[in-house]
Amino acid sequence: MWRSATVVALHDETATARTLRFEVPDWPGHTAGQRVDVRLTASDGYSAVRSYSIASAPSTNKLVEISVERLPDGEVSPYLAQEIALGDRLELRGPVGGWFVWRPTQTEPVQLIAGGSGIVPLMSMIRSRVSASSAAPFRLLYSVREPRTVFYREELHALSAEQSIELTFAYTRATPRDWPRPPGRIDADLIASTTWPSALRPTCYICGPTSFVENAASLLTASGISPDRVRTERFGPTGDRR
């Protein structure tokens, strides 16, 4: 069932990504980590649909937020990340997906690992933790190319400062000045020093490009985390042979 949605707020996250807030009068509610299908229809009836992770926390206020990274060759993302304006209407279907989710009834430690725009569904989990006043301990390891590509920067820093989450950034191309770790992808040392030890049996959520998720999931399981504690969501190309 497609639901009518109206853009009620938008702002740039980075130079290439934008957050959109939709008002959806008959939105049934969602669980942190779920996705929504977005349908755009041209005046001649042609339509295109893409799936996006929901960024906002579950709530009863009929608002749904997504954050869209503009893909150079995209058909839908350039429109959402650049052209759409306040008051524009489109259609949503969902929420979709019941596996890559966090519920406030979970009390065990949670390890979040984000690569780039893979932060979006994890941000919904963090916001859900806050809005539910959950005491589940959360750690976030957030890998980005460089400081200016961080999504939700101020909100994350504020949540870290008030100790709602333990936050670690990892930079793959360029770091802030005087950053102790040289740029590079996540490795076993970083996993050992910044993520929950396996003895605490954390539930782990990893989201990002395929090669990022493959690497992070392998490091987690090599560190002793049981594979059945690791939930993944991958997007984009394989990054290797295809």
Name residues contacting other proteins, limited to 219-238 (CB under 8 A).
Answer: 220-221, 227-228, 230-232, 234-238
Smallest distance, Å, CB 226 to other proteins?
A: 10
**How many residues touch other proteins (CB under 8 A)?**
47
Which CB sits closer to other proteins, 167 or 213?
Answer: 213
With vertex at residue 17, the alpha carbon angle to CA 12 and CA 20, rounded to the nearest 5 degrees, is 60
Cβ atoms of 126 and 119 closer than 8 Å: no
Residue for token digits 């539910």?
132
Smallest distance, Å, CB 225 to other proteins?
A: 9
Which CB sits closer to other proteins, 89 or 148?
Answer: 89
Rounded to 10 deg, the angle between the 119-131 and 153-161 helix axes is 40
Rounded to whole angstroms, the Cα distance separating 40 from 91 reads 7
DSSP string, 56-78: SPP-SS-EEEEEEEPPTT-SSHH
With vertex at residue 235, the alpha carbon angle to CA 43 and CA 58, rounded to the nearest 5 degrees, is 75
x/- mask, other proteins, residues 57-96, rule CB under 8 A, reads ------------------x---x---xxx--xxxx----x
Quick check: 198 binds other proteins (CB under 8 A)? Answer: no
- By CB under 8 A, name the binding residues for other proteins: 2, 4, 39-43, 45-51, 75, 79, 83-85, 88-91, 96-100, 210, 214, 217-218, 220-221, 227-228, 230-232, 234-238, 240-242
